Amino acid sequence: MAANFWTSSHCKKLLEQEDIAHVSPIDQNRGLTTEDAKIIKVHLSNYIRKLAQHAKVRQRVVATAIAYFRRIYTRKSFSEYDPRLVAPTCLYLASKAEESTVQAKLLHYYMKNFGTAPDEKVFRYEIKDVLEMEMRLLEALDYYLVIYHPYRPLVQLLQDAGLTELIQTTWALVNDSYGTDLILMYPPYVIALACIYIGCILKEKDARTWFEELRVDMNVIKNIAMEILDFYDNYRQIPEERVHAAFIKLPPRS
Amino acid sequence: MAELSTTSGRYIKGVTLGEGTYGVVFKALDTLTNRTVAVKKIRLGKYKEGVHVTALREIKLLKELHDPNIIELIDVYPHKRNLNLVFEFMESDLEAVIKDRNIVLSSADIKSYMQMTLKGLAQCHKKWVLHRDLKPNNLLIATDGQLKLADFGLARILGSPDRNFTHQVFARWYRAPELLFGSKQYGAGVDIWAAGCIFAELMLRRPFLQGSSDIDQLGKIFAAFGTPRESQWPDMTSLPDYVEYQYCPAPPLRSLFPMASEDALDILLRMLTFDPKSRITAQQALEHRYFLIEPAPTRPVLLPRPPTRPEGKSKPAEVASPAAPIVLSPPNKARRVTLFPGGAGGDVHSSGRVDTGYPFPSRDASGGTVPGETPSDHGEIPMSVDMRTTAGQAIPPRPTLNSTDRSYLKRKLDMDLAVSHYQEEQQI
């Protein structure tokens, strides 16, 4: 979105690491660890992506859906908001908010037939569960629905740097940055810069002078880059039994 | 307050103010702040598509827009299976002001209303939000006289420049020429055009360009400003629904607005410029000489306002549009009311209407009536110059978006999901 990020609710609601990493007491009682929570979020972010591929929505819708999903769990517990249902509902809500509505019955069809559902429990949810959850999610999000993404600044920054050949690599890096909570913590253009930074290292481009002229805090950029690289090291491929071990602690609400 | 009942504990429900397309609006007392508020209750329908997109849009955008000249969304809360939107309570709207014959609007008053409208718009546009449904009854007036933009149910965020928008927005009389020619890639200029029409309406005290179909609307526009030449609007001929209109010269603008100052005419002409690219922006308009020189805009609190709004008629745009013309003049003039068959009918979109030999309206030398269409053609009031002649006439009902438009819009929105031309995912 080309709108003004600095005056947006998204900007005012940026969070610190400690606001995000905590696990709610109810979840802790079920034995859910910070690591479990991270795995559940990564797994369901991928699930949203897969559903979205079937629904053929724009990249932005996916990004917004994942941002909603992650934002909700900075406030709510997995125990009270079953992530198996929250994930597809986030996609449903995001598709409306980003003006490319996916019909509820289609979404439900994809839920039943495609994508790697976290476990078979997702099949129990019906359309009405999605619609009921939509209301609860709106409330949990405090009705703030506008989310800014790094895609647009990425394109602009690459043009400015004269590095447009990096678009594919960096675009994919931005996609994968949604495997983390970065979107809740940093302005989108900073995430875009971090992806360009990684892209430059991967493709051996020298953009040091360009970065210096930007006068951004390179420590912040490097921290974000480290977080993205950590995602590749540890969460790109999560062993199935590890996912299973996390989800088994979360019986769906009957 | 009638029928006391509690809503969500915080609001005490009052009388019903009106019924919109997607819900009922009632007056309520906010016990937390002791403020009077308007609660819009959104029907969710029987488990079909959850929260209505229109409502979602309004929530999404108003949560981001905070400005003295934009309606404040105070709160949103779910109630049973409904979603309730709590707005600040607005006493009246600009349509009521324009229609109230007891109100005399001085040029300072008009300037004040225009300034507030443009300030609200400038704020929207700064945040890349297009309102897309500007008309006098969406400009609400608060108890302190502040004018506020409301009803963002059709508003959109201007995102990627290549995304197509529907051109079926705005009530017809406020639709910019590029929309009437079917443009799907438009910008903030569409809101400015509508604001220009509202400006003219404030001066004339009746809607400025009252077309009875899209084709007729363009005819009315060209009759007032002359048929645009290619040099005035180079992109015109490449618009999807472009049709050629017989050339018609522009009458002097002065003849249409005899009372207006030179600066008023200048800013009006800049707002109603054909080529959206050269149309003035809201911010530029606010810096125009018109707002800088005497008379200074009236302070909002001193603006003339209709006494009190009759209950039952109120804020959401969809509420209005009475089935028959309202007689504003004394009862003995009621016989002068003319029917307006075109108003309530479906929106005839331009394609298919072109070859029917539609009479092109051209102005005769006297500048008063449009001889190309006799009253029996449309049964409506010809565009006239002299506001005194219209003072006693009934104003035909304002066309709002009718059900045809709405279902068209809905189809458009559903189609959006088919248009996924964004970069597919790429794995490293």
Q: Which domains does chain A have, with CATH numbers?
A: 19-146 (1.10.472.10), 151-234 (1.10.472.10)
Could you tell me if B165 and B281 lie in one domain? yes
Name, in order, each residue with C-beta under 8 angstroms of B355's C-beta and a sequence gap of 6 or more: none
Give the chain A residue nearest B410 (alpha carbons). A101
Could you tell me if B101 and B225 lie in one domain? yes
- Please list every residue in chain B whose beta carbon sits closer than 8 Å to the beta carbon of residue A103: 49, 414, 417
B53 touches A: beta carbon within 8 Å:
yes
A246 touches B: beta carbon within 8 Å:
no
Instruction: Look at residue B348 in the predicted model and tell me its pLDDT.
Output: 36
Cα separation, B294 vs B107, whole angstroms: 10
B355 is catalytic: no
8 Å CB contact of A172 and B425: yes
> Looking at beta carbons, which pairs linking B244-252 to residues 24 or more positions away fall under 8 Å?
B245/B218, B245/B219, B245/B360, B246/B360, B246/B362, B248/B222, B248/B223, B248/B360, B248/B362, B248/B363, B250/B224, B250/B225, B250/B226, B251/B224, B251/B226, B251/B363, B251/B367
Nearest to A146 among B48, B64, B156 (CB): B64
Could you tell me if B145 and B269 lie in one domain? yes
Q: Is residue B421 part of a domain?
A: no
Structure-block tokens of residue B349: 């979109």
Domain that holds residue B155: 92-411
Could you tell me if B55 and B98 lie in one domain? no
| Domain CATH number, residue B160 | 1.10.510.10
Cα separation, B66 vs B68, whole angstroms: 7
pLDDT band at B388 (very low <50, low <70, confident <90, very high): very low
pTM of the full predicted structure?
0.76
Q: Which of A105, A143, A167 is the mutation pick for testing B, counting most B CBs within 10 A?
A: A143
- Please list every residue in chain B whose beta carbon sits closer than 8 Å to the beta carbon of residue A146: 60-61, 63-64, 157
Percent of chain A topping pLDDT 70: 94
Total number of domains in chain B: 2
Interface predicted TM-score (ipTM): 0.85
8 Å CB contact of A172 and B158: no
8 Å CB contact of A56 and B420: yes
More confident residue, A19 or A136: A136
A138 touches B: beta carbon within 8 Å:
yes
| Domain CATH number, residue B27 | 3.30.200.20
Burial class (CB in 10 A: 0-12, 13-18, 19+), B42: buried
- Please list every residue in chain B whose beta carbon sits closer than 8 Å to the beta carbon of residue A135: 50-51, 78, 81, 83
pLDDT band at B193 (very low <50, low <70, confident <90, very high): very high
Structure-block tokens of residue B174: 């406020």
Indicate if the pLDDT at residue B290 is higher than 90. Answer: yes
8 Å CB contact of A175 and B425: yes
A12 conformational bin, left if phi > 0, alpha if psi -120 to 50, beta if neither: alpha
Model confidence pLDDT, tens digit, residues B335-372:
333 333 333 333 333 333 333 333 333 333 343 333 43
- For A71, B60, B120, B148, B313, the CA distances from B140, given in Å and listed in that order, are 35, 20, 12, 5, 12
Torsion of CA B138, B141, B142, B147, to 10 degrees: 90
Name, in order, each residue with C-beta under 8 angstroms of B180's C-beta and a sequence gap of 6 or more: B167, B214, B217, B218, B221, B241, B350
A175 touches B: beta carbon within 8 Å:
yes
Instruction: Look at residue B118 in the predicted model and tell me its pLDDT.
Output: 96
Cα B90 to chain center, whole Å? Answer: 17
A235 touches B: beta carbon within 8 Å:
no
8 Å CB contact of B425 and A49: yes
